[in-house]
Amino acid sequence: MPPPRTATPLAILSRFLSSPSPPPLPELLRVHALATTSGLSSRPDFAAKLVSAYSSAGRPGVAALAFSACPCPDTFLWNSLLRSHHCASDFAPLLSAHRRMLASGSLPSRFTAPLTASTAAELSALSVGSSVHAYCVKLGLLAGDGCVAVASSLVYMYAKCGVVFDAVKMFEEMPERDVVAWTAVVSGCVRNGEYLDGLRYLVEMVKLTGDGRVRPNSRTMESGLEACGVLGELPSGRCLHVYAMKTGVADSPLVVSALFSMYSKCDSTADASILFPELPEKDVVSWTSLIGAYCRRGFVAKAMELFLEMEECGLQSDEVLVSCLLAGLGNTANVCGGKAFHAVIMRRNLGDSVLIGNALISMYCKFELVEVACRVFRMMHHCDGESWNLMIVGYCKAGCDVKCLELYRERQFRDLAALERGEQIHSYVKEMGLDSDVPISTALIDMYAKCGQLGISRGIFDSMLQRDVVSWNVMVSGYGMHGNAKEALELFSEMEGGCVEPNGVTFLSILSACCYAGLVDEGRKLFTKMREYSLEPNLKHYACMVDLLAKSGLLQEAEDIISAMPIEPDGGIWGTLLSACKVHDNFEMGLRIAKKAFASDPGNDGYYILMSNSYVSVGKWDDIESLRDMMKDHGVGKTVGWSAVDTCE
C-alpha cells in the first residue's frame, strides 16, 4: 500500500487562497509561516487573505502584522485592514489606518467609505466623517453600484454626530434607500429631539413597505416608539404595536422594551402592565416607569403594591422612584399614606437626598401642612433653589404672607452671609499664596460676580498673570448677569485680541448680555460670528437670539430663526415668542405661534393664559371658552396667583 501523499507547500497555499472560508487558527498560523518563507506574504492579495482570516479568527493584532508584511498595499488590502479593525471595534486604530491609506496615495473605494463613516459616527468625529463625504463626492462614490451603502453610512454618521440637518439632506438626495438609511434618519431625528420628523419618516417608510421595498427593523421601531412616548402619541404607538406584530418584530427584546416605555410614558397602565412581565430585564428604571405611570393616573395604591413587589425581588429603590411615589401621594391628598411613607424614608436614611427632600416639601404643601413642610425644609442638610421656591410658594398658597416674606428675606440674607464667607476664603487664599492659581482665582471672580461685587471681580481678573477660557467666560458672564453689556462687549473684544479662543459658553454669556440690554445689531453679529470659530449654536444660543429679537419687536425675524433651527425648538422658545406677540399686539402671529407652543409643551398653563389675554384684547369670547375646554382636555389647571402687600408705615 503506497504511503499517503503529503500536500506540498504550494498546494497548501493555493488551497488557502481559493477557500471561501478561513481555516482553523493552528492551520492558519502554518499557512502564514509557509507564506512568509516562500515570500508570498508580501503580495497584496495574499496579505489581504491573511488579514481577513485573522480577523475572522478574532486576532486583529496578528492581522495588522500580516498587513505590515506587504510593502505596497493596494486599496483591497487597506480595506481588509479597515474591516479587521471595524469588526474588533478598534475605532481609533481604524481612523489611523485610514489616514495612512490616504497619505500613501491609495484611492478609497465604496468599501472604504462606509467603514470609515460608521467609525467616525461611533467616535463622534464629525470632521473625519465630513472629509469622507467630500472624497465620496470627488471620486463619484455616491453614484453607480454600491452607492446606497455609501450614502446610508453618511446619513448614519451625520445623525449620530447630531447634525440632523445634514443627515436629512443626505437622505433626501438618495435616489434609492435601504433599511440602514431609513433607520439612521428615523433614529437620528429622535435622538436629537426631532420627534415629529422621526415619526413622519417612519410612517413614510411603513407606507413604502406595501410596494415590496424596505421594511422597518427592530431598531427603526424602537426609535419610532420612543418618539410616540415623548410626544404622548398613544394612538400612533398602538398602530406601531400592531404593525410590529404583523411584521414579526414585536417579539424582539428591543421592541418589547420600547413598547413598555412608550405605554408607560403615555400613562397607559393596562398595556404597560401586560408588557412588563415580558421585559428581558426588569431593573429599577423599568419599575420606576410603571410605578410612575400609575402615580400620574392617581392609582397610588397600585403603585405602592408594585413598590413592595419590587423590593421583594431584591431591588433597592432610588431617589427618583421615591420622589415619584411622594408626588403621587401628594396629588391624591393621601395624608395618612404620605406620612407613613415619610416614616419609611426616614428609617431607610433616604432623607439626605435633595430630590426627596423637595418632593416631601411639595407633598406636605399640597396637604396644606406647611408647618410640617417647613420642618422638612429646616432638617435638609442641603437646599437648592427649588427647595426655597417650594417653601415660599407653599406659604403663599396657605395665606401665610408674613412667613412667606420672612423666608424670602432669609434667603437674601443667606446670600449676604455667603459673601462674608467668600471674603474669609479669599483672605485665606492670599495668606496661603494661592492667589496665583488660575482655577482658584476664577472661582473667586465667579463668587464676587454672583454676589454683585463686580469691581472686586474685575480687580482679581486684571491681576491674573494667566487666564484660561473659563476665566474670561466667568468675567463676561458676570457683566452680563448684571446688565453691564457695554463692559461685557469690551471684554469680549479684548478676549478675541488675545490668545484665548472663545467657546460656546462665551457666546452664550455675551448674547445674554446683549439680550438684557436690547443690543440687536451686536447680538446678530455675535451670533453670526460663532461660525468663524466653527461653533454650532445650541438651544440656549437660539433662545437668546429669539428673546433679543422678540423683545425688540422683530417678531418675524425671530420666527424665521426658529424655523431655520437645525434642532427642535422647545416650549420655552415658542413661549418667548408668544409672550412678545402679546406685548406687541400681533394677534395673528400669536395665534400661529400658540399652536406650536401647545404642541411642544401642552401642560404649560402660561401659554393658555397668554392666549386667553390675547382673545380678551380682541373680544373673541367664544374662543376663550374653547381654550378652557382645551385646558381641561390636557389636564391643565391655572396656577393660583398670590400677592403680598406691605402694610408697614
pLDDT digits (tens, 9 = 90+) for 234-277: 999 999 999 999 989 998 999 999 999 999 999 999 999 999 99
**3 state SS of 13:** helix
Could you say which of 515, 536, 557 is where a domain stops?
Answer: 536
Domain with residue 599: its CATH number is 1.25.40
* Residue burial 616-648, b: 16+ Cβ < 10 Å; e: rest: eeeebeebbeebeeebeeeebeeeeeeeeeeee
In sequence order, the 6+-apart residues with CB closer than 8 A to the CB of 471 are 438, 441, 442, 445, 461, 464
Distance of CA 596 to the CA centre of its chain: 21
d(CA 518, CA 580): 14
Asked if residue 103 belongs to a domain, the reply is yes
Q: To the nearest 5 percent, what fractions of the chain are helix, strand and coil?
A: 75, 0, 25
Is the four-CA dihedral 499, 503, 505, 506 of positive or negative sign?
A: positive
Asked if residue 45 belongs to a domain, the reply is yes
Q: Are residues 532 and 545 in the same domain?
A: no
Predicted confidence (pLDDT) at residue 645 exceeds the cutoff of 90: no
Q: Are residues 526 and 545 in the same domain?
A: no
Per-residue pLDDT, 641:
45
Least confident residue range of 8-12, 212-216, 278-282: 8-12
Cα separations (Å) of 125 from 91, 107, 118, 122?
A: 11, 21, 10, 8
d(CA 316, CA 320): 12
d(CA 566, CA 385): 32
Least confident residue range of 76-85, 203-212, 449-458, 620-629: 620-629
Per-residue pLDDT, 97:
93
What average pLDDT score do residues 106-121 get? 94
Asked if residue 155 belongs to a domain, the reply is no
| 289, 272 contact by CB (below 8 A) | yes
Cα separations (Å) of 18 from 126, 160, 616?
A: 40, 39, 83
Per-residue pLDDT, 4:
46
Asked if residue 564 belongs to a domain, the reply is yes
d(CA 311, CA 285): 13
| 443, 428 contact by CB (below 8 A) | no
Could you say which of 107, 134, 158 is where a domain stops?
Answer: 107
Q: Are residues 579 and 485 in the same domain?
A: no
d(CA 192, CA 159): 8
Per-residue pLDDT, 99:
94
**3 state SS of 477:** helix
Per-residue pLDDT, 74:
92
Per-residue pLDDT, 227:
93
Predicted confidence (pLDDT) at residue 131 exceeds the cutoff of 60: yes
Per-residue pLDDT, 631:
56
Per-residue pLDDT, 640:
42
> Which of 156, 171, 175, 159 minimizes the C-alpha distance to 116?
156
Asked if residue 291 belongs to a domain, the reply is no
Residue 643: pLDDT band (50, 70, 90) is very low
Predicted confidence (pLDDT) at residue 486 exceeds the cutoff of 90: no
Distance of CA 606 to the CA centre of its chain: 25
- Chain segment 183-200, per-residue pLDDT in tens: 999 999 998 888 899 999
Residue 223: pLDDT band (50, 70, 90) is very high
| 484, 519 contact by CB (below 8 A) | no
| 179, 214 contact by CB (below 8 A) | yes
- Chain segment 332-376, per-residue pLDDT in tens: 888 999 999 999 888 887 767 889 999 999 999 999 899 999 889
Predicted confidence (pLDDT) at residue 59 exceeds the cutoff of 90: no
Mind giving me the DSSP string for 598-616? HHH-TT-HHHHHHHHHHHH
d(CA 347, CA 361): 18
d(CA 311, CA 542): 45
Q: Are residues 547 and 530 in the same domain?
A: no
Per-residue pLDDT, 16:
60
Residue 416: pLDDT band (50, 70, 90) is low
In sequence order, the 6+-apart residues with CB closer than 8 A to the CB of 619 are none
Name the burial class of residue 161, with classes exposed (0-12), middle (13-18) and buried (19+) by CB atoms within 10 angstroms of its CB.
buried
Predicted confidence (pLDDT) at residue 414 exceeds the cutoff of 80: no
Predicted confidence (pLDDT) at residue 604 exceeds the cutoff of 70: no
d(CA 174, CA 581): 40
Neighbours of 256 (CB within 10 A): 20
Least confident residue range of 265-274, 383-392, 410-419, 541-550: 410-419
d(CA 49, CA 427): 70
Predicted confidence (pLDDT) at residue 418 exceeds the cutoff of 70: no
Residue 648: pLDDT band (50, 70, 90) is very low
d(CA 479, CA 457): 10
Could you say which of 80, 107, 134 is where a domain stops?
Answer: 107
The letter for the amino acid at 521 is D
Per-residue pLDDT, 35:
74
Q: Is 89 left (phi over 0), alpha (psi -120 to 50) or beta?
A: left
Count: domains in the chain: 3
> Which of 259, 254, 308, 304 minimizes the C-alpha distance to 281?
254
| 351, 357 contact by CB (below 8 A) | yes
Predicted confidence (pLDDT) at residue 226 exceeds the cutoff of 90: yes
Percent of the chain with pLDDT over 90: 31
135 vs 640: which has the higher pLDDT: 135
Q: Are residues 20 and 96 in the same domain?
A: yes
Average pLDDT of every residue of the chain: 84
Asked if residue 102 belongs to a domain, the reply is yes
Q: Which domain, by its residues, includes 575?
A: 541-640
| 293, 268 contact by CB (below 8 A) | yes
517 vs 362: which has the higher pLDDT: 362
| 623, 591 contact by CB (below 8 A) | no
Asked if residue 376 belongs to a domain, the reply is no
What average pLDDT score do residues 281-302 get? 90
- Chain segment 466-484, per-residue pLDDT in tens: 888 899 989 998 888 777 8
Cα 262–255–314 angle (5° rounding)? Answer: 75
d(CA 405, CA 468): 41
Q: Are residues 575 and 609 in the same domain?
A: yes
Q: Are residues 532 and 546 in the same domain?
A: no
Whose cell is 429669539? That residue is 546
Q: Are residues 558 and 602 in the same domain?
A: yes
- Chain segment 87-102, per-residue pLDDT in tens: 988 899 999 999 999 9
Least confident residue range of 135-144, 442-451, 510-519, 604-613: 604-613
Predicted confidence (pLDDT) at residue 1 exceeds the cutoff of 50: no
d(CA 494, CA 475): 12
Q: Are residues 585 and 495 in the same domain?
A: no
Q: Are residues 532 and 547 in the same domain?
A: no
Asked if residue 522 belongs to a domain, the reply is yes
| 221, 244 contact by CB (below 8 A) | yes
Q: Are residues 549 and 635 in the same domain?
A: yes
Q: Are residues 527 and 579 in the same domain?
A: no
Per-residue pLDDT, 209:
75
Mind giving me the DSSP string for 157-217? HHHHTT-HHHHHHHHHT-SS--HHHHHHHHHHHHHTT-HHHHHHHHHHHHHHHTTT-----
Predicted confidence (pLDDT) at residue 130 exceeds the cutoff of 90: yes
Q: What is the grid cell recorded at 62? A: 496578528
